[in-house]
Structure 1
Amino acid sequence: MIRPESASANAAGSSFPLGSPDPGGPAGPLTVLGIETSCDETAAAVVRVAPDGSRQILSDVIRSQTGEHEAFGGVVPEIAARAHIRILDGLVSAALKDAGVGFGELDAVAATAGPGLIGGVIVGLTTAKAIAMAAGKPLVAVNHLEGHALTARLTDGLPFPYLLLLVSGGHTQFLLVEGVSRYRRLGSTIDDALGEAFDKTAKLLQLGFPGGPAVEKAAMRGDPSRFQLPRPMLDRPGIDLSFAGLKTALRTTAEANAPLSPQDVADLCASFQQAVTDVIGEKSRRALALFAESHPQTSPALVIAGGVAANTAIRARLEAEAAKAGARLVAPPGRLCTDNAAMIAWAGIERLAEAQAAGKSLDERDAPARPRWPLDAEAAAVIGSGRKGAKA
């Protein structure tokens, strides 16, 4: 069963209180249809930027596949791709209807071209190419990570540069966002992404799927000081992270205390979450210090994006670290932190506006679907490489 994650925005305007436009941001009028199918959410949205730079989410439709994957304790790529095929056309129609626009009123179609589960990416990108060709509109092939990276400019009108902490099921990294398509990686996980660590913790403790919310809920009933779990890489300089050893320590501790009572599970979750929060907090402190050193004349801002950004304990720690550094923490609404098509449409608008400002046209109908696509493509690979490209 495909279940609606939340209702779509109506045609009357944005569901979110968008801030003032960035004076250096894109000017309109530009109206873009966005499509997102990189994992287990199928999404379509229409976003518009007015001539004065004000932004409006005209529609934002998301359908979750949680029910499809719950029995497996994680996302099954083949099941995800088939679900995207079944429902994407209907979601695009719903997004256009909610927005009150037709294909002729669009300026472009934007779609995730990677990174992600390749079957799902192909479904969304192929659909977008067909729409663009039939409607005679340009296609913008969007890096899914850039969608997350630019969301704070949609919601808060945040000017460049700023510091980004991207924490999701597939990625955990600190990036310096200097402009559209201009990203510099400051630190990254050397093994597992944080969202993956949360999901595997939930699976180990039989808490169900998705794992992040389940672990956070259990942690609220637990004692974070009961189990002494490691804080990986805090004894090393730099901003890189690691979570594989923490997962191993959690499993070893759980096995040593088996059979686990409900309180044992809650205490393990609380101890795990506290360890993660301590690591993220310290690495954020270092990243903010590095940002201040490299941009002394810039008012610092730390943006948190990705599904794990919804974790309240992590957000609270980041708020505290930002305050200590005299920085602003920007956390988009939870709906726009997880995978969605509004961020893809907005990234398309940003890239279209950049091309227009340079007197160029942008149409990427020949863009390939990419399972791997680092934002900082020129940086050395952190986790493996090969014919598919660097993982991160």
Structure 2
Amino acid sequence: MIVMGIETSCDETAAAIVKDTDKIFSNVILTQIPYHRRFGGVVPEIASRRHLEAINSVIDEAVFKSGFEMSHIDRFAVTVGPGLVGSLIVGIVAARTLGKIYKKPVFGVNHILSHLAVNFLFDEISPPYLGLVASGGHCDLIHAKTHNDFEVLSKTRDDAPGETFDKIAKMLGLPYPGGAEIEKIAKRGNPDSVKFPVPKFKDGSDDFSFSGIKTFVKNRIGETPKDKIPDLLASFQKAVAKIFADRIMNAVKKTNCIRVILAGGVISNNFIVSFLSEECAKNSVQLFWPRPEFCTDNAAMTACRGFLQESSLKLIPQPDLKI
């Protein structure tokens, strides 16, 4: 099946054409980072306007690069949530319009599940599996029993991990997005130099929390010499990785599932992936993750999810869509 994916949930305008979960024929992404950088984060009004300006040319480029005609598309898949409502509208209207013109089905898909689905393009993975999605807006640990039966085991109760990276980068005067900047500086540091608090809930929940370690870094910045900032950031990265590892291993014990897939922008951090890879290897757990360019938002993941999904989600913007 040939599926066109359309992704406009935040600040990337993207379109891709994928066959089943076997081959990517095109994957076009137009980032808006230069427009949002001076504000230190995504401005929803600017994001939706830029999507509107770019969506037609991005779709045209995806079709051109694929070598297909639009009539060859069997199904359109579009992100309906979660995301920014103004941004979601642009992609949904584009997909619905194409579906009407070419008389093809349009499947609304969940952005978080799409992040997980991109892994199937690169590795032979079958359910059941555990999936960790860690990004600027989300942190969810999911037990996938089938491709369409999911249970959320852990979610963040405060900040998302990518959001935490960005906020810490802003404290240090680093440019947006902050994750890559922190990783660069942290490479010069010792990840064992600063002991971080371990977030725990009184109710014993396995949910995530990153606000505590963010505050810890904020309090330490003022008393840390400039030449020791790499140590602080390296230790921060390790603290985040340890939170992920702890929740994953608890989920492995709970579900007896030994396949874990990673997804989301934070997974482009090499230190975090290496740490999780070592922890999984120690516990005989298989670990899969996509190449860095497929960790951040793209439409190939949307197309993959659209292929795997049995039916469409409601084709309206659902900014707070749950799994």
Distance (Å, rounded) in 2 between the aligned partners of 1:72 and 1:311: 23
Of 120, 126, 130, the residue aligned with 2:93 is: 126
**Mean CA deviation greater in 55-64 or 269-278:** 269-278
Distance (Å, rounded) in 2 between the aligned partners of 1:363 and 1:328: 31
Partner residue, 1:306: 264
In structure 1, the residue corresponding to 2:302 is in which secondary structure?
helix
In structure 2, the residue corresponding to 1:208 is in which secondary structure?
coil
Of 141, 144, 148, the residue aligned with 2:108 is: 141
In structure 2, the residue corresponding to 1:113 is in which secondary structure?
strand
Distance (Å, rounded) in 1 between the aligned partners of 2:84 and 2:298: 15
Of 315, 330, 336, the residue aligned with 2:294 is: 336
In structure 1, the residue corresponding to 2:246 is in which secondary structure?
helix
Distance (Å, rounded) in 2 between the aligned partners of 1:276 and 1:132: 42
**Mean CA deviation greater in 97-106 or 220-229:** 220-229
Of 182, 187, 204, the residue aligned with 2:171 is: 204
Map 1:365-380 → 2, pairs under 5 A: 367-375=315-323
In structure 2, the residue corresponding to 1:256 is in which secondary structure?
coil
Shift of 1:271: 2.1
Shift of 1:234: 8.5
Q: Residues 363 and 146 (structure 1 numbering): CA distance in 2 closer, same or farther, change over 3 Å?
A: closer
Shift of 1:265: 2.6
Shift of 1:106: 0.9
Read off the aligned partner of 1:239 and give its amino acid letter. D
In the alignment, is residue 290 of structure 1 matched against residue 254 of structure 2?
yes
Question: What do the CA deviations read for 1:26-49 (whole angstroms, capped 9, x no partner)?
Answer: xxxx11111001111111000113
Distance (Å, rounded) in 1 between the aligned partners of 2:195 and 2:259: 33
TM-score (norm: length of structure 1): 0.79
Q: Are 2:196 and 2:239, in contact at CA under 8 Å, matched by a contact in 1?
A: yes
Question: What do the CA deviations read for 1:45-65 (whole angstroms, capped 9, x no partner)?
Answer: 00113xxxx711110011111
Task: Count residues in correspondence.
Answer: 323
Q: Residues 268 and 133 (structure 1 numbering): CA distance in 2 closer, same or farther, change over 3 Å?
A: same
Distance (Å, rounded) in 1 between the aligned partners of 2:172 and 2:228: 10
In structure 1, the residue corresponding to 2:122 is in which secondary structure?
helix
Q: Are 1:122 and 1:369, in contact at CA under 8 Å, matched by a contact in 2?
A: yes
Partner residue, 1:193: 160
Distance (Å, rounded) in 2 between the aligned partners of 1:153 and 1:179: 13
Distance (Å, rounded) in 1 between the aligned partners of 2:312 and 2:222: 55
Stretches of structure 2 lacking an aligned partner (at least 5 in a row) = none
Q: Residues 313 and 363 (structure 1 numbering): CA distance in 2 closer, same or farther, change over 3 Å?
A: closer
Partner residue, 1:324: 282
Distance (Å, rounded) in 1 between the aligned partners of 2:278 and 2:191: 19
Q: Residues 221 and 236 (structure 1 numbering): CA distance in 2 closer, same or farther, change over 3 Å?
A: farther
Map 1:36-55 → 2, pairs under 5 A: 36-49=7-20, 55=22
Read off the aligned partner of 1:44 and give its amino acid letter. A
Distance (Å, rounded) in 2 between the aligned partners of 1:280 and 1:304: 10
Shift of 1:163: 0.6
Distance (Å, rounded) in 1 between the aligned partners of 2:43 and 2:312: 32
Structure 1 or 2: more helix by fraction = 2
In structure 1, the residue corresponding to 2:262 is in which secondary structure?
strand
Map 1:240-259 → 2, pairs under 5 A: 240-257=207-224
Stretches of structure 1 lacking an aligned partner (at least 5 in a row) = 1-29, 355-361, 376-392
Partner residue, 1:34: 5
Partner residue, 1:4: none
Q: Are 2:114 and 2:301, in contact at CA under 8 Å, matched by a contact in 1?
A: yes
Q: Are 2:109 and 2:312, in contact at CA under 8 Å, matched by a contact in 1?
A: no
Percent identity reads 38
Distance (Å, rounded) in 1 between the aligned partners of 2:86 and 2:201: 37
Shift of 1:255: 2.7
Partner residue, 2:243: 279
Greater relative CO (CA pairs within 8 A, separation 6+): 2
Shift of 1:237: 4.3
Shift of 1:223: 2.9
**Mean CA deviation greater in 219-228 or 142-151:** 219-228
Distance (Å, rounded) in 2 between the aligned partners of 1:95 and 1:143: 21
Shift of 1:251: 0.8
Read off the aligned partner of 1:348 and give its amino acid letter. G
Distance (Å, rounded) in 2 between the aligned partners of 1:71 and 1:305: 27
Question: What do the CA deviations read for 1:137-159 (whole angstroms, capped 9, x no partner)?
Answer: 11101111111122222321311
Question: What do the CA deviations read for 1:63-98 (whole angstroms, capped 9, x no partner)?
Answer: 111111111111111111111111110010000011
Q: Residues 330 and 48 (structure 1 numbering): CA distance in 2 closer, same or farther, change over 3 Å?
A: same
Q: Are 2:186 and 2:231, in contact at CA under 8 Å, matched by a contact in 1?
A: yes
CA RMSD after TM alignment:
1.8
